[in-house]
Amino acid sequence: MKKRLDEPGGSAETLACGGGEAPPEVPPSPKALGLTTAEVAERVASGRVNDVPLRSSRSTGEIVRANLFTRINAIIGVLFVIIVVVGPVQDALFGGVILANTLIGIFQEVRAKRTLDQLAIVGESRPRVWRDGQRSTVSASDIVIDDLIDLGQGDKIAVDGTLIDADNLEVDESMLTGEADPVHKHAGDAVMSGSFVVAGAGVFTATRVGREAYAAQLAEEARRFTLVNSELRNGIDRILKFVTYAIVPAGIALIITQLLVNDDDLPEAVRRMVGGLVPMVPEGLVLLTSLAFAVGVVRLGRKQCLVQELPAIEGLARVDTVCLDKTGTLTEASMDVDEVLPLAPDVPVDDVLGALGAADERPNASLQAIIERFPAPQGWRCRDTAPFSSARRWSGAAFTEPSGRESAWLLGAPDTMLTAGHSMLTAADSYGARGMRVLLLARSSRPLDELLADPSAVPSAVEPCALVVIKQRIRPEASATLRYFADQGVAAKVISGDNAVSVGAVAAGLQLPGAERPVDARSLPEDPEALADAVEQNSVFGRVGPQQKRDMVGALQSRGHSVAMTGDGVNDVLALKDADIGVGMGSGSPATRAVAQIVLLDNNFASLPSVVAEGRRVIGNIERVANLFLTKTIYSVLMALVIVIAQAPYPFLPRHVTLIGSLTIGVPAFFLALAPNKERARPDFVGRVLRFAVPAGALAAAATSVAYFFARSVYDDNLDAETSAATLALFLTALWALAIIARPYTWWRVLLVAVMGLAFAVVLVVPSLQDFFQLKLVGVEVPWTAAACAVVAGLILEIVWARSRRRLSDG
């Protein structure tokens, strides 16, 4: 592979090595120029194009079907039709509420879909393709069969193909085969979509595109807008299963009882039956869960944060440990050469550095800083290259110099290229202690292919020629972000491939606890238990290899930690893939963005607290509203059982349960589900919900039953007056439960509870509303008794709540 040096930063000479813009880029062949524009158009017209859509969300049709055609909507729909038949219209209000909720859910999810789709286009990887003899960048969906595609370090392979040229190419196929070790590839070998390049370069011809490609279905499915594998959603599913088991027998018994008790008035029996069944169904719980996630996606999208897997919002809120790669996360990806210390007077250091920069088509951040400082020299011809590898930590090239002399040069980490105790390491460490990155320029006495075959031979084969000191730019937002994690009880671990002393200096500048004790990962034990101890006890690690990063994430997970990993380079891919939550940078390698669940498109590390806060808002608020919905289900089931045993008319019509449900659950839950919430996510979601909902539902049922049967003894078959007393008792108890769930109070939460209470009071005093809802309190004794029952139930619930919170804080 060849590169022209008359490109920006180059000269008029040509280097016969790693890459460039001038054709021929590959060995001369009919394929060297790639397809022509006409050939591309012919393949597109015949459908031989990589047409797998980049799907970050469900289609609009799927969203409508998922929100409309649900089991709960089917149950409510049947009950709605029954009420429409028997009338009156006010008893069918619950149908309108369900329809409104469904439309809101569809609107919000479509809105989230548009946000996701727009962000996915921004974050999409764009392969480099040769066409008409020119290399251009295209969308992965624009690749056609027989396209000639460039590969370089960090690239994600978008389609299947056959290599026609390879330059020390190493491909990670672990996402397809499970094998973590990179595979060396040569011309004629196959490459598969879904794998990525860890070192070297190459060119391949696309042989299978679109849905025929090996990983196409996997890639498409991985980007779906879904709640699958969400701990929160799994917990809600368990709650709904419990509800189903409870309401089926209770509902059947209630139907039989109401038909027997009201045998002389069939329409009234049907209304009372529906009034008992409707509140048993937690109709808004799943809807509000989806709604909260969808709103979260939109909020994060405004901060240029792409959520590729929806549960990641929830998952990052649960993490207790975040592993940070230094470069690109704590520091900016771009760097500057600060100083060069020549060690050999006869070496033209500036020319060698310029030639090394020109010989590498895919420079990393360090080499890019060198390229910006040292232009390509005249007369240097490249004969061979050794691409940079995170495992080796050096790169190199062999040249024919202007004098005709042949030489080989390496550029990399001093502590991996020199023997332990070498005097140059002391100088390198002194710069590292100031947070600088130090590279060693060395002349090799052995050919590059021998050193690639046996990297352990490097220390005995090199002559140090210069130290290159590179200044790293610390991200201005890094300190505040680390402080946020510390305040939230989330441990931060810096895991970097750089020199441990340098990493420790950067971390110390950010005031990370434990930064004064940086650990060289090469000294870490291999035993899993010992490794877990070391990773738990320390905060800063340097010289960490890609496989070690993965092992360290696994070690933390083995101790019960929920781990998030951030990174931008190909050396972070394995750890990102295994972490509970992987966070990639928008400017990172395509492979990194492909495996990350969350991508920070603007590379703003300060967005992470927003993601954590959004996850906590979703989890905390859904727990709040789940308490309300399940409380309603429990008191409805218990009331049905009481009525069945007593063989009495059910105390409520559908309009009454719609009124109570709207004011104590429906309207408040909508606001509570979308409100700010900074409570840290905790395990045992289902257990906490049941610990509140069961006693709250039981107390509401008890207070309502006492008030109802007391009213029956006083009013002597005045069913409207009996219903009014029962409705008052149930509303006041449910409002008290809402007041507890709304804590801690803010002005708007106090106002929300007060407005709900005021709305019910208006219904009781306005004659037209009294008639509409068939509610009218009669006398003084029964209404005050109903209120007293609600107060007693509320006070007992306060005791239960206080004990529950105390148990939680003690735990």
Report, as residue numbers or ranges, the catalytic residues. Answer: 325
Residue type, 368: Q
8 A C-beta contact, residue 461 and residue 445:
yes
Query: CA dist 731 to 346, 650, 798, Å?
Result: 91, 16, 17
d(CA 586, CA 483): 23
d(CA 277, CA 251): 6
d(CA 383, CA 109): 56
The answer, yes or no, to whether the previous bond of 654 is cis (omega within 30 of 0) is no
Closest residue by Cα to residue 315 from 563, 679, 596? 563
- Per-residue HEC secondary structure of 740-783 comes to HHCCCCCHHHHHHHHHHHHHHHHHHHCHHHHHHHCCCCCCCHHH
Residue type, 207: T
Cβ atoms < 10 Å from Cβ of 376? 26
Cβ atoms < 10 Å from Cβ of 523? 9
Cβ atoms < 10 Å from Cβ of 190? 13
Place of tokens 């939550």: 581
Contacts of 436 (CB under 8 A, 6+ apart): 338, 469, 470, 471, 472, 502, 505
- Decide: helix, strand or coil at residue 49: strand
Q: Count CA atoms closer than 13 A to 215's CA, side-chain side.
A: 22
The first and second tokens of residue 661, run together, are 């449900």
d(CA 716, CA 4): 102
Q: What is the DSSP string of 704-725?
A: HHHHHHHHHHHHSS-HHHHHHH
d(CA 531, CA 523): 10
d(CA 688, CA 343): 67
Contacts of 237 (CB under 8 A, 6+ apart): none
The first and second tokens of residue 597, run together, are 């669940």
8 A C-beta contact, residue 457 and residue 451:
yes
CA 497 to chain centre: 25
- In Å, the largest CA–CA distance within the chain is 117
Q: What is the DSSP string of 257-304?
A: HHHHHTTT-HHHHHHHHHHHHGGGS-TTHHHHHHHHHHHHHHHHHTTT
Closest residue by Cα to residue 89 from 668, 655, 576? 655
Q: What is the DSSP string of 332-347?
A: EEEEEEEEEEES-TTS
